[in-house]
């Protein structure tokens, strides 16, 4: 167990000094989710890993958000373009479906960026009993009030619902929890 952890640490350290992996990660920082342009694919948790595959090629591992999400084709295209622009035409993109993506993978920075874009971040399901039972408290991204109501199950995209704040009367989008 300890040996395995040390091995992982060594691999990670190696990754940090691998110029191509550093370049690939930097390039991917510029790839955003077309449905939520405020978030990079790293923020939203689509980007799982940037590593060397068994053959030594740079491998970008991604997990789609919602299955059949039409944005995934666009995202792969943008990843390819970002890698090519960095001189990493040989890099491979692997799509991993298991474990399935969950909104819990949205990073803290991602949640902050959602708020700044006026979108309420998903209620975190981990350790949140109320969320488990479907009683989600959605806070207004503008005034932080909990006095909100759902107007429509679907917002501009299927992954968002439309809410309205009773306190400040502003409508806003809520990134649904899955
Ligand atoms: Zn409000």
Domain limits at 124? 105-175
Same-domain status, 7 and 77: yes
More confident residue, 71 or 91: 91
Same-domain status, 128 and 51: no
Average pLDDT estimate for 28-57: 93
Beta-carbon neighbours within 5 Å of ion ligand 1: 140, 142-143, 145, 165, 167-168
97 and 133 inside one domain = no
Q: How far is CA 13 from CA 8, 53, 59, 96, in A?
A: 9, 16, 17, 24
Distance 101 CA to ligand 1 centre (A): 29
The stretch 49-78 carries a mean pLDDT of: 87
Q: Verify that 81 and 137 share a domain, yes or no.
A: no
Judge if 93 and 157 occupy the same domain: no
| Domain count within the chain | 2
- Alpha-carbon span 52 to 59, nearest angstrom: 6
Spatial neighbors of 165 by CB under 8 A, at least 6 apart, are 140, 142, 143, 145, 147, 148, 171, 172
Q: Tell me how far apart the alpha carbons of residues 110 and 101 are, in angstroms, rounded to a whole number.
A: 15
Question: Residue 164 Cα, ligand 1 centroid: separation in angstroms?
Answer: 8
Of 47, 73, 101, which residue constitutes the final position of a domain?
101
pLDDT digits (tens, 9 = 90+) for 110-167: 999 999 999 999 886 555 555 555 567 899 999 999 999 999 987 777 788 999 999 9
Q: Are residues 29 and 82 in the same domain?
A: yes
Task: Give the end of a domain, one of 50, 72, 101.
Answer: 101
- pTM for this one? 0.77
> 139 C-alpha vs ligand 1 centroid, how far in Å?
8
Q: For residues 21 and 12, is the Cβ–Cβ distance under 8 A?
A: no
Instruction: Answer yes or no: do 97 and 119 share one domain.
Output: no
pLDDT reported for residue 67? 58
Ligand 1 midpoint to CA 146 (Å): 8
User: Domain ends where: 75, 101, 127?
Assistant: 101
Residues 37 and 95 in one domain: yes
* d(CA 173, ligand 1 centre) in Å: 12
49: CATH: 3.30.300.130
The number of angstroms, rounded, from the C-alpha of 31 to the middle of its chain's C-alpha atoms is 11
User: Which of 130, 131, 83, 79 minimizes the C-alpha distance to 104?
Assistant: 131
> What is the structure's pLDDT at 5?
52
For residue 172, how far is its CA from the centre of ligand 1 (angstroms)? 9
| Phi-psi group of 101: left, alpha or beta (phi > 0 → left; psi -120 to 50 → alpha; rest → beta) | beta
Do 48 and 86 belong to one domain? yes
Do 93 and 114 have their domain in common? no
- Whether the predicted pLDDT of 14 surpasses 70: no
DSSP states along 69-98: -THHHHHHHHHHHHHHHTT-TT-EEEE--S
- The alpha carbon of 110 is separated from its chain's Cα centroid by a whole number of angstroms, namely 7
For residues 173 and 162, is the Cβ–Cβ distance under 8 A? yes
The strand pairing partners of 150, in sequence order, are: 163
pLDDT at 23 exceeding the cut of 70: yes
Tell me: do 76 and 135 sit in the same domain.
no
Q: Are strands 58-62 and 92-95 parallel, antiparallel or unpaired?
A: parallel
1 — pLDDT class (breaks 50, 70, 90): very low
């Amino acid at each position: 167990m300890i040996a395995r952890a040390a091995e992982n640490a060594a691999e990670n350290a190696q990754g940090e000094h691998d110029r191509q992996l550093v370049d690939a990660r930097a390039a991917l920082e510029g790839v955003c989710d077309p449905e939520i342009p405020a978030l990079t694919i790293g923020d939203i948790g689509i980007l799982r890993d940037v590593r060397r595959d068994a053959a030594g090629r740079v491998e970008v591992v991604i997990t789609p958000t919602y299955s059949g999400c039409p944005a995934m084709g666009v995202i792969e295209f943008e990843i390819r373009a970002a890698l090519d622009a960095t001189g990493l035409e040989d890099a491979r993109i692997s799509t991993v479906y298991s474990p399935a993506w969950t909104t819990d993978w949205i990073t803290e920075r991602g949640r902050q960026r959602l708020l700044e874009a006026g979108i309420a971040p998903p209620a975190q399901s981990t350790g949140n009993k109320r969320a488990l039972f479907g009683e989600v408290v959605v806070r207004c991204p503008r005034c932080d009030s909990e006095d909100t109501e759902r107007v429509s199950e679907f917002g501009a995209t299927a992954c968002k619902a439309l809410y309205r704040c009773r306190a400040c009367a502003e409508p806003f989008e809520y990134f649904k929890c899955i």
